[in-house]
Amino acid sequence: MRKFRKEVAGALSDAVGRKIAENSLTTPPDPKLGDLASSIAFSMGGNPKENAEKLAKRIKASGLIREVRAVGPYVNFFADRDKMSAAVVKQALKDGSKYGSGLRKKERVMVEFSQPNTHKSIHIGHLRNIALGDSLSRILSFNGYRVTKANYINDFGAHVAKTLWGYIKFHQHERPPENRGRWLGGIYRDACQRLEADTEEDDVRTIQQRMESGDKEITGLWKRTREWSLSDFKRIYNELGVGFDEWFFESDVVGEGKDIVRDMLEKGVAKRDQGMVIIDFDDLGVAVLERSDGTTLYMVADLALAKHKFEDFGVDRSVYVVASEQKQYFQQLFKALELWGFPQAKKCCHLSYELVMLEEGKMRSREGQVVLYDDLAAEARRKALAAVNEKNPDLSDNEKQRVAESVAVGAMKYEMLRVSNNKTITFSWDRALDFNGESAPYIQYAHARAKRILEKSGKKPKVGPVKTADELALTRAIAEFPDVVERAAKNYSPHLVANYAYSLANTFNHFYASTPVIGSEEEVERLALVEATAVVLGNALKLLGVDAPDVM
């Protein structure tokens, strides 16, 4: 379809005497109206309908263009479907895992995501961040960008001081369980609840000051408990198949705060106000860099990290995957970087996402009203194993476990990716683990079915002409993949790939139900379509960070 789109844009450009962008072409709502349409007639002056008729007569069929027809004020193009379908399937089979990938870009993009707080537990809200950042990184890399995946660990600050306070006062004589990271999260929640009832905030502030001054006893406890959290984070990332190129820690950059504040003051970016150091952004409000007691706030650490990104890593474009509640904060951060003298600030992007809600309301880790990742994963594995036992009881126990793990992780990730990042997810166990609806298992099963058809036939696929409406629909769906991936990269929108993968799986299942493959006269030609489908489904699932098992 990309080649056809290019030919159509070229033919239109020649006809009107100016360049017509490929992305200005649209797909008609009904295949009977054509394969691509242009609204250029509206911008030519005079009567759009008459303009479209003149253009349709002027453009001759050639290459993949079989017919040009005026449909009202639109110029519609019909592809030579045999040529186009053959070209699409051949390209998919030839490129394999690279089908749909873009040209090499020069820009280096750093995608910063996950960013968990140590001394807290990872819950399903964090899972949305992880899935979104990992998928975006894969999509950008697939499109040729030089991508660095970064994780910025919030291992310093008030939340740590509260946890250490709670540990020292109530839990230090307990024997930690095997999952120490989750245990720490419980201590944090307990500390928050106790502090709401008690008047011991001064004790917490003292612990934070001791941390910042490098107190030996508190620093030793902080480092020991931090490792418990980090070990738990790494286990979860490993289960999800997510890796990072760079790990940054707030504790490593917070020490640069005084120098940054001083530099901001000297350059006139910041000013002193009632003992504090602030930046007044006018329409964006005021950001406090330093309190009156000399301690710095979170933005100072982010400024230090951004400086390292630009100077030490040569980052051209920095993407921060953070919840939408921080929208104003990132607007202030990017403006501060611009005022500080970094031109890359204009290419910084806050990829915001709405929260994951429980049916009871917003999740708050301090209140304990959360679904923890470990609980979600355990339930997903249980349900996935039950489904695998039902669908393929002849698999070995080890194979069942392997497939169930792929299905469980896929189900969790897809639930976080199928919805646009600007929409809230109201989390439901039934929907998240539904193996028959719009879900990763449905797509994975379509991929496995395609692989099974190829294995069962044993014949070598051969590209041929399409003969049925369902064959044509499947070819058209395969052809859309490169454009979908390009749009997903341009708009930072993994949900486009998620929705496409479901649509392709659905189209393939209609084809499978209506069109015999094995034993038909067109078996080898239809096998080529099946193999191309498996290639594209596999590529799409990989971009979502989801396994594509050959059996289920």
The CATH number linked to 9 is 3.30.1360.70
Q: How far apart are CA 232 and CA 243, in angstroms?
A: 14
Q: What is the CATH number of the domain that holds 428?
A: 1.10.730.10
**What are residue 219's DSSP bridge partners?**
none
Residues 12 and 154 in one domain: no
Q: SS3 for 146?
A: strand
198 — pLDDT class (breaks 50, 70, 90): low
Mean pLDDT of the chain: 92
Residue 86 lies in a domain: no
368 — pLDDT class (breaks 50, 70, 90): low
The CA-based angle 117-314-133, given to 5 degrees, is: 40
Comparison of pLDDT for 427 and 416, the residue scoring more: 416
For 139, phi then psi, to 5°, come to -65, -45
- Asked whether residue 193 carries a pLDDT value surpassing 90, the answer given is no
Amino acid at 345: A
**Are 123 and 365 spatial neighbours (Cβ–Cβ below 8 Å)?**
yes
* pLDDT tens per residue, range 17-70: 999 999 899 989 888 899 899 999 999 989 999 999 999 999 999 999 999 999
Comparison of pLDDT for 263 and 196, the residue scoring more: 263
For residue 343, count CB atoms less than 10 angstroms from its CB and return exposed for 0-12, middle for 13-18, buried for 19 or more: exposed
Residues 178 and 274 in one domain: yes
Residues 124 and 254 in one domain: yes
Residues 410 and 348 in one domain: no
Residue 18 lies in a domain: yes
- Asked whether residue 178 carries a pLDDT value surpassing 60, the answer given is yes
Residues 123 and 13 in one domain: no
- Specify the pairing of strand 356-358 against strand 425-426: parallel
Residue 97 lies in a domain: no
Q: Give pTM, 2 decimals.
A: 0.90
Residues 203 and 327 in one domain: yes
- Asked whether residue 428 carries a pLDDT value surpassing 90, the answer given is no
DSSP string, 283-301: GG-EEEEE-TTS-B-HHHH
Q: What is the CATH number of the domain that holds 197?
A: 3.40.50.620
The domain containing residue 491 runs over which residues? 384-543
Q: How far apart are CA 199 and CA 88, in angstroms?
A: 69
Residues 349 and 388 in one domain: no
Q: Which two tokens stand for residue 417?
A: 């990716």
Residue 95 lies in a domain: no
- Asked whether residue 543 carries a pLDDT value surpassing 90, the answer given is yes
* pLDDT tens per residue, range 306-321: 999 999 999 999 999 9
**Are 136 and 350 spatial neighbours (Cβ–Cβ below 8 Å)?**
no
Q: How far apart are CA 532 and CA 523, in angstroms?
A: 14
414 — pLDDT class (breaks 50, 70, 90): very high
**H-run or E-run covering 359:** none
**Are 211 and 160 spatial neighbours (Cβ–Cβ below 8 Å)?**
yes
Q: Which two tokens stand for residue 274?
A: 């009632």
**Tokens 């480092």, located at residue:** 223
Residues 127 and 259 in one domain: yes
Instruction: Look at the chain and report how many structural domains it folds into.
Output: 3
**What are residue 78's DSSP bridge partners?**
67
Amino acid at 144: G
Average pLDDT over residues 170-175: 91
366 — pLDDT class (breaks 50, 70, 90): low
DSSP code of 228?
Answer: H
- Specify the pairing of strand 271-273 against strand 246-249: unpaired
* pLDDT tens per residue, range 213-227: 889 999 999 999 999
Residue 455 lies in a domain: yes
**H-run or E-run covering 152:** strand 146-153
Residues 9 and 143 in one domain: no
Residues 486 and 388 in one domain: yes
* pLDDT tens per residue, range 463-489: 998 889 999 999 989 999 999 999 999
- Specify the pairing of strand 286-290 against strand 361-362: unpaired
Residue 106 lies in a domain: no
What percentage of the chain has pLDDT greater than the value 70? Answer: 97
**What are residue 369's DSSP bridge partners?**
364
Nearest to 135 by CA among 413, 349, 354, 408: 413
- Asked whether residue 363 carries a pLDDT value surpassing 60, the answer given is no
Comparison of pLDDT for 366 and 266, the residue scoring more: 266
Quote the pLDDT of residue 157.
Answer: 84
Q: Which two tokens stand for residue 286?
A: 């005021």
Residues 30 and 167 in one domain: no
Residues 22 and 168 in one domain: no
Q: How far apart are CA 39 and CA 21, in angstroms?
A: 12
Nearest to 504 by CA among 545, 467, 453, 449: 449
- Asked whether residue 327 carries a pLDDT value surpassing 70, the answer given is yes
Comparison of pLDDT for 388 and 103, the residue scoring more: 388
**Are 99 and 91 spatial neighbours (Cβ–Cβ below 8 Å)?**
yes
